[in-house]
Amino acid sequence: MADTQPLTSLTAGTPIVVGGDRVTHVSEELAAAFGPGDRLLVVPDGTLLHVDAEAARVAADAVGRAAAAFGRMGTVSDDAVSAFFTAFADRLADDAAFAPIAAANAADVEAARAKGRSTTRLVLSETMRADMIDGLRSWAAAPSGRGDAVARVDHDGWSVELLRAGLGVVGFVFEGRPNVFADACGVLRSGNTVVFRIGSDALGTARAIVDHALDPALAVAGLPEGAASLVDSPSRATGWAMFGDDRLGLAVARGSGTAVAQLGAVARQAGVPVSLHGTGGAWLVASTTAEAEPFRLAVRHSLDRKVCNTLNVCCIPESRATDLVPVFLGALRDAADARGTNPKLHVLAGSEAHVPTEWFEPTTIARAEGPVTEAGCEVVAESGLGTEWEWEDSPEVTLAIVDDVDAAVALCNAHSPRFVASLVGTDPAEHQRFYDTVDAPFVGNGFTRWVDGQYALGTPELGLSNWQFGRLFGRGGVLSGDSVFTVRTRAIQTDPAVHR
């Protein structure tokens, strides 16, 4: 066995092997910051992640509470879990209990805006509040699935059953959308526990939800303390530490592509299964048979707000560019008008001749940091088709003129995050070919914003997975609380004389 010693310090310039065949080096900044009790994580792209001792402690404590709670969940009745969801929903619905949550969220939003950061996902609006309440109530009414027989095989004198059971502790890292906080608790329905870390912009809101709704609901229902635990720290390092904890049964990450990729790499190295919900952006393709009005509506209704399933790239066949490009540009401008802003267009290099010259003139674009003056349309290289436009109030999208639907599919498969793809047209055979050839888990024939667990399936989602990191084994792209389970095998012997 190798002789190992605790790592207590780092020296600048020290080579670190990456992936077995590459080397990176410790920077002066990392060496100066590293101390006893700290951890060094190496991800496959060569990035060195520094987890300080305090971040490691905070994450370990939260995971420990959730792990201890999972050990007691087997004795918790389904009625008690339902009571938790009902109490959680009731607290959010009660104006007096919700008031400090709303105040905390307003402070978070104000602080984020002062830093020039996006707040489109951060605001806990009345609509979001209602969706959280509805989601929790739906979990209260949903069957748990615990103990359900997946299969049964009968033998002479004995039988074997395959039964659903809780998976364990689910670690959850997500961006600053407060509604996901309630969605993540859905894993308790199927007998799991959850530990989560929210982005620093929404940490005040999360703390208020825990204090004024979540913890009181756990107590009222009699669920184990720690069954839903917040990693109470603004440090990103706590997320790395949590995902590197092999006590997790599943690690779920939502956020930006780079951050999610790093978290996924850390979890995989710890042997923890991952469900990643990173780069978003939907693709919409017009067929040569596309009718103008359905196409216009598909574009317009896919640009109402910026979330992961918002239209990001639109492909139009060259044979229809003359009539459909104006329709597309009109729908884009309508989406901006509805928000009181100007649109932002990108056009694939080689396609710019199809865009009127006035679109390239300077205009005011609403960014997270405030209004800025920039070109209304810019040319993007083919390699840039994978960029997800994180717009604030000015709808932002890329237009690509292509030879045909097959060419659009080839571009989508090569450059998109392989997430949402939609074809607008009237030919059933072409729709079938599109479904068969496009490499995406979510495929439609109209607007793209339908891709949502609660909207489409009536089930609050923990997140939506793209296929950027490969197809998923044994499940769909919607991760929900009732899809987080394992299968146990139980033998029932009725004849004591049975033997091999």
Each residue of 191-203: pLDDT tens digit?
999 999 998 899 9
| Cβ atoms of 330 and 296 closer than 8 Å | yes
What are the tens digits of pLDDT across the range 123-133? 999 999 998 99
Rg (CA), the chain: 25
CATH architecture of the domain 54-278 equals 3-Layer(aba) Sandwich (3.40)
C-alpha 239/C-alpha 6 separation (Å) is 22
Domain with CATH 3.40.309.10 in the chain: 282-455
351-362 burial code (b ≥16 CB/10 A, e <16): bbebbeeebbee
Please state the separation of Cα 356 from the chain's center in Å.
Answer: 37
Q: Is the pLDDT confidence value at 1 over 70?
A: no
Share the mean pLDDT of the chain.
93
pLDDT of residue 2: 65
Retrieve residue 273's tokens: 């299964």
Q: 240 pLDDT exceeds 80?
A: yes
Residue 209: other Cβ atoms inside 10 A: 27
Query: Tokens 């100066």 correspond to what residue?
Result: 32
State what percent of residues in the chain have pLDDT above 90: 79
Question: Please, where in the chain does CATH 3.40.605.10 lie?
Answer: 54-278
**Per-residue pLDDT tens over the stretch 66-122:** 999 999 999 999 999 999 999 999 999 999 999 999 999 999 999 999 888 888 788
Tell me how far apart the alpha carbons of residues 63 and 193 are, in angstroms, rounded to a whole number: 10
Among 3.40.720.10, 3.40.30.10, 3.40.1260.10, 3.40.309.10, name the CATH number for the domain at 282-455. Answer: 3.40.309.10
